[in-house]
Amino acid sequence: MKKNIYNVFALGIVLSLGACKKDFLNQRNPNAVAVENYFNTENDVLLAVNGAYQSLRSSNTVGENSGLFTDERSDDAGRNDNQSNAGEPFQFNDFSLLPSNSYLKSHWLALYQSITRCNVILANIDKVTFTIAANKANYTAEAKFIRALMYFELVRKWGAVPMVTKPLNTPDEVSKNTFRVPEAEVYNQIVADLKDGLNSTLPNLQAASGIGRTSKAAINAYLGKAYLTMASTLPNNKQENLANANTYLLAAYNMKTFGELSEIPYPDVFDVAKKTTNKESIFVIANKQGDITYSSSIAANNQAKGETINSLKVSTGSGANVKLDLINEYEVADLRKDYSVKYANDPIVKDWFITKFRDASANATNNGYGGNDWILMRYADVILMLAEVNMLQGNNATAIQYLDKVRTRAAMPAYAVSTLNPDYATKFPTLKLAILHERRVEFAFEHQRWFDLIRNFTEAELVTYLKAKPQASYGIAKLTNVTLKDRYYPIPFDEVKLDPVKMYQNPGYN
């Protein structure tokens, strides 16, 4: 009988089991392959690792359609609809998020289910005899990389969270692991998992045949981002964390296979026809053009009625919402604006929509089965993080050099020249705000903005920053709702109910 990899994970769905009846664990799927019987060959491990990568595609983890949990929490996007789906999606951008929100719970559970897949691999890989020893180290590195990414999502959004690094197969095991651990401990695990990957024989960057898998450049880049986040959000060891961030970001940067970023035109980064030769991409979720299951839907989903720029699929809606606040932040003649957004003149739309992700080719068909890979890490991110970390270390001259690499690619004036422009100087009076601005327009709709905001501002600063924005450019979601509590998401209600003491709620959500 052919083994189905997805049935491997029928056991131990971590904390999601806690909200269900304990009898759930005693129910057997007659079509499932028990974990203890599954891992026999190298290929079994490979299929399990592929299954872990597969989990990243979900709109409830970090897939292309997961913007509800990032962009729609920020000042870049959102929705001017507080009625659909019981108004639950609207809560994210309206800063009226409830612990009972079903989308929030689905996100939480999906992240832990992905972690479970990785834990199952790591707990069983030693049972297999490998003819190629390096494969074992590489598969281990890949599983730990994915686990680290999921915990990075969790800790940034919720703060202290339960941390599980082995399969949980009984109600007692679940109960014993149902408690929140401090953020520092979660970050320590993230760092440990990523560093282990540097001891593997993974390539510095994946070749075309390996697109969608991790690499040492990706590991170094995420280590740099993790340390940079730790420096900004944890109270201790700021300078040490900044030094580590600089080290690993430079390691990733030095693995690039191009000279200057300006060698890669901005539109080429997102061009479906050039994705296999795109030297800027570091880590992506790979999609297959024309395939009903593994294609990308982001181009078609974002398209507004009456438009054809994104997809051959006919749209009847307004596409993805773009906040006027973002439109107003683009500088005059910034080519990234013209590539990323467009104004739709259709009478039912009359608004901006996202054009950054396009596949209007015949191979994508009229169903909108696009070939866009979803980019999770690229070199412009590494470069602007190097600008940020050097700025925080007091190395402003170096920071500006990195900042200008990105501005040059966008055909924008150098920072020193831009500061002489009264409009630029007024909007971005500090180097910190200039870097934050550059990240905003460079990575618009790439699910970066919310993380950039919470990394750069304290809770109080974030409230002040958001409330200073014109309500008219934000939409119907109310900026007056923003309070100190909104730095973190609420712990889902069902998880708190398991143990109100160990799974205590975040402040402001009780």
In this predicted model, what pLDDT tens digit does every residue of 377-427 receive, in sequence order? 999 999 999 999 999 999 999 999 999 999 999 999 999 999 999 999 999
Mark the ranges of the chain whose per-residue pLDDT is less than 70: 1-33
Long-range contacts of 120-127 (CB under 8 A, 24+ apart): 120/8, 120/9, 120/12, 120/35, 120/48, 120/167, 121/45, 121/48, 121/49, 121/52, 122/147, 122/165, 122/166, 123/166, 123/167, 124/35, 124/38, 124/39, 125/39, 125/45, 127/39, 127/40
pTM, two decimals, is 0.94
> pLDDT value at position 7?
35
> Looking at the structure, do residues 334 and 469 belong to the same domain, yes or no?
no
Domain boundary among 322, 352, 372: 372
Domain boundary among 372, 401, 419: 372
25 lies in some domain: yes
> pLDDT value at position 16?
38
Closest CA to 228 of 212, 252, 199, 205: 252
31 lies in some domain: yes
Closest CA to 390 of 502, 261, 224, 273: 224
CA-to-CA distance for 490 and 483, rounded, in angstroms?
13
Amino acid at 116: T
**Within 10 A of 303 (CB to CB), how many other CB atoms are there?**
31
307 lies in some domain: yes
> pLDDT value at position 36?
74
**Within 10 A of 183 (CB to CB), how many other CB atoms are there?**
18
Question: Cβ(210)–Cβ(46) under 8 Å?
Answer: no
336 lies in some domain: yes
> pLDDT value at position 26?
39
Question: Cβ(156)–Cβ(130) under 8 Å?
Answer: no
> Looking at the structure, do residues 25 and 143 belong to the same domain, yes or no?
yes
Count up the domains in the chain and report the number.
2
Element (H, E) at 292: none
CA-to-CA distance for 341 and 357, rounded, in angstroms?
10
110 lies in some domain: yes
State pLDDT tens for residues 227-278.
999 999 999 999 999 999 999 999 999 999 999 999 999 999 999 999 999 9
Domain span including residue 300: 287-372
> pLDDT value at position 86?
83
> Looking at the structure, do residues 327 and 475 belong to the same domain, yes or no?
no
> Looking at the structure, do residues 356 and 504 belong to the same domain, yes or no?
no
> pLDDT value at position 510?
87
CA-to-CA distance for 279 and 70, rounded, in angstroms?
26
Q: What is the CATH number for 110? A: 1.25.40.390
> pLDDT value at position 261?
98
> pLDDT value at position 17?
37
Domain boundary among 324, 352, 372: 372
> pLDDT value at position 32?
58
Element (H, E) at 295: none
Rg (CA), the chain: 22
CA-to-CA distance for 156 and 430, rounded, in angstroms?
25
Question: Cβ(402)–Cβ(390) under 8 Å?
Answer: yes
Question: Cβ(467)–Cβ(480) under 8 Å?
Answer: yes
Rounded to a whole number of angstroms, the distance between the first and last alpha carbons of the chain is 50
